[in-house]
Amino acid sequence: MARTSQSDYSGWQVVIGLETHAQLSTASKIFSGASTAFGAEPNTQASVIDLALPGVLPVLNRGAVERAIRFGLAVGATIAPRSVFARKNYFYPDLPKGYQISQYEIPVVQGGSLACIVEGRGFEPYAKTVRLTRAHLEEDAGKSLHEDYSGMSGIDLNRAGTPLLEIVTEPDIQVDDIERAANEAVAYARALHSLVTWLGICDGNMQEGSFRCDANVSVRRPGAALGTRCEIKNLNSFRFMHQAIVHEARRQIDLIDAGDRVVQETRLYDPDRDETRSMRSKEDAMDYRYFPDPDLLPLEIDEAWIERVRAELPELPAAKRARFVAALGLSDYDAGLLTADAATARYFEDVIGALPVGQAKLAANWINGDVAAAINAAGESMAGCPVTAAGLAGLLARVVDGTINQKTAKEVFAVLWSGEADSADAVIDSRGLRQISDAGALVAIVEAVLAANPKSVEEFRAGKEKAFNALVGQVMKQSRGKANPQQVNDILREKLES
């Protein structure tokens, strides 16, 4: 039934708005003093408040509010001087109170925008800015465990009451190409993920559910009124997000083409079958009976608090990227990679801080090259990089001062990565990897190579420049890679041209 060729979907515009739940990295819950740590035994981190036992009351965590302010300032939003917590009433066994405390009419963060770089196959990367509608504080629900417990489901309320910042965009992704629309959505989500982790307000762990995206997807003919939207949930990786949006847009177009209409509903993405399916709707989802929570007075945030948070705000990715280009002479591409997440940026800055001035390009090449490759191969993140910034700086310092060449440096890096040693100098000394820059020693090697390769010498003299490279290679081989390549070049040319 679904068409096989993407071109069949031309003539449609896909419109996407995103809602992201970012778990805030507080130590305690939003309304109780229980820990938010992930992975504890069931219900051992559910306090009497999280369990909604009779007689309990919520008290708001200042740390959650502070993180919301931090986010709002980073996206250029208005921090509401007065916002209100409301009750969203519905029944579900993992929602202990029978209502979720959330913000409805007056959220704490209003407006703002987020810039991102859209990348994908078949087009040049481009910049896109997505406007934010709002971001509001709310509490997470618990979990229903569907394994068989005597024929029943189990309810674990450890997650109940974990602070969330729900970040809602305008439907600003409006693209006449399904794949491209999905690319834009993913670009936004990546940029948001990068920002919240950068700001230290969310650990960004998508597997543990710390960063959850829902996409509101609709389709229309360009210029027509907005179509009926479906909310796609369970997008717990960027790849799934892309797939789910593509699938959902196609599903909606197929429906309309077949003369049906799209029904507004919540759909769940199933990555195993690459399809979305209608969720058994939380009944009465449309009538949440919101009203201001009488247990909580309005949240007031004064100018002094906002300014204090502003002062503590780290340099934001966009500013840092621009500075790397302007002050350090990096390419925009390199600067972009180095500011993709806070850990990488910090690593880079730590490395160049320990090197002589002017080595930013060298450090950038290494971090975006060998270090990134090793991290990717190991399935790690920068936070889990076994070579510390100091370790890498120690290695690069030996490249800068000529102790080793780039090739040897790769060998030393591999040793550092393996954990066998933690300083480049130790590896260089113990393995005798010091570059041979002693002219006498090099001349001896060069002469030996020339004597052993008369054919190459002849070819070079006949004008074949390629033969020169073969001779350099031989010298390097003889020196076990330790010869100073520039010196080898100079001596060799001198001998051949004399």
Binders of other proteins in range 268-327 (CB under 8 A) = 268, 279-280, 283-284, 286-287, 289-292, 294-300
Pair type for strands 109-110 and 78-79: antiparallel
Shortest Å, Cβ 275 to other proteins: 15
Cα 184 → chain centroid: 15
Q: Return d(Cα 235, Cα 199) in angstroms, integer.
A: 22
Nearest distance in Å: CB 138, other proteins: 15
Stretch that binds other proteins, among 42-50, 113-121, 237-245, 393-401 (CB under 8 A): 42-50
Residues 6+ apart with CB under 8 A from 380: none
Q: Tell me which stretch binds other proteins (CB under 8 A): 92-100, 391-399, 467-475, 477-485.
A: 92-100
Nearest approach, Cβ of residue 88 and other proteins (Å): 10
Q: In whole angstroms, how close is the CB of 189 to other proteins at the nearest point?
A: 23
Q: Which of 19, 51, 374, 426 binds other proteins (CB under 8 A)?
A: 51
Based on the shown chain and the rule CB under 8 A, indicate whether residue 62 belongs to the binding site for other proteins: yes
CB of 213 to other proteins, least distance (A): 18
Q: Which is nearer to other proteins, 6 or 144 (CB)?
A: 144
Report, in Å, the least distance between residue 33 CB and other proteins: 3
* Binding of other proteins by 46 (CB under 8 A): yes
Q: Is 311 exposed, middle or buried (0-12, 13-18, 19+ CB in 10 A)?
A: exposed
Among 55, 379, 419, 454, binds other proteins (CB under 8 A): 55
Q: Which region, judged by CB under 8 A, interacts with other proteins, from 51-59, 110-118, 258-266, 324-332? A: 51-59
Minimal distance, residue 47 CB to other proteins, in Å:
4
Alpha-carbon distances of 220 from 10, 146, 329, 479, rounded to whole Å? 11, 38, 45, 67
Six token digits for residue 330: 């990096």
Q: Does 64 bind other proteins (CB under 8 A)?
A: yes
- Applying CB under 8 A, what is the total number of residues that bind other proteins? 73
Residue 127 or 304 with smaller CB distance to other proteins: 304
Structure tokens at 59: 């008290």
Shortest reach from residue 196's CB to other proteins, in Å: 17
Residue 239 CB contacts under 8 Å (≥ 6 apart), including other chains: none
Q: What angle do CA 147, 215, 130 make, to 5 degrees?
A: 145
* Contact call for residue 65 and other proteins (CB under 8 A): yes
Binding residues for other proteins restricted to 250-269, rule: CB under 8 A? 268
CB 198 within 8 A of CB 61: no
Q: Residues 207, 190, 121, 333: what is their CA dihedral angle, to the nearest 10 degrees?
A: -130
Which residue, 41 or 465, has its beta carbon nearer to other proteins? 41
Residue 32 CB, nearest approach to other proteins (Å): 6
Within 8 A by CB and 6+ apart from 193, the residues are 204, 206, 211
Amino acid identity, position 44: T
Contact 136, 67 (CB under 8 A): no
Told to check if 28 binds other proteins by CB under 8 A, we report yes
Kindly indicate which of the ranges 84-92, 119-127, 374-382, 401-409 contains the residues binding other proteins, using the contact rule CB under 8 A.
84-92
**Paired sense of beta strands 126-139 and 163-169, if any:** antiparallel
Among 1, 5, 39, 57, binds other proteins (CB under 8 A): 57
Residue choice 9, 12, 99, 269 for contact with other proteins (CB under 8 A)? 99
Token duo for residue 181: 């629309």
Two structure tokens written together for 120: 């994908």
**The one among 14, 15, 58, 173 contacting other proteins by CB under 8 A:** 58
CB 434 within 8 A of CB 409: no
Q: Which residues pair with 166 in a beta bridge?
A: 21, 136
Catalogue the E-assigned strands of 180-301: 211-220, 230-235, 265-270, 275-278, 291-292, 299-300
Gap between the Cα atoms of 180 and 183, Å rounded: 5
129-188 residues in contact with other proteins (CB under 8 A) are 144-146, 149-157
Q: Which of residues 390-419 bind other proteins (CB under 8 A)?
A: none
Region binding other proteins by CB under 8 A among candidate stretches 35-43, 206-214, 352-360, 468-476? 35-43
x/- letters, 418..437, toward other proteins (CB under 8 A): --------------------
Query: What kind and span of H or E run contains 168?
Result: strand 163-169
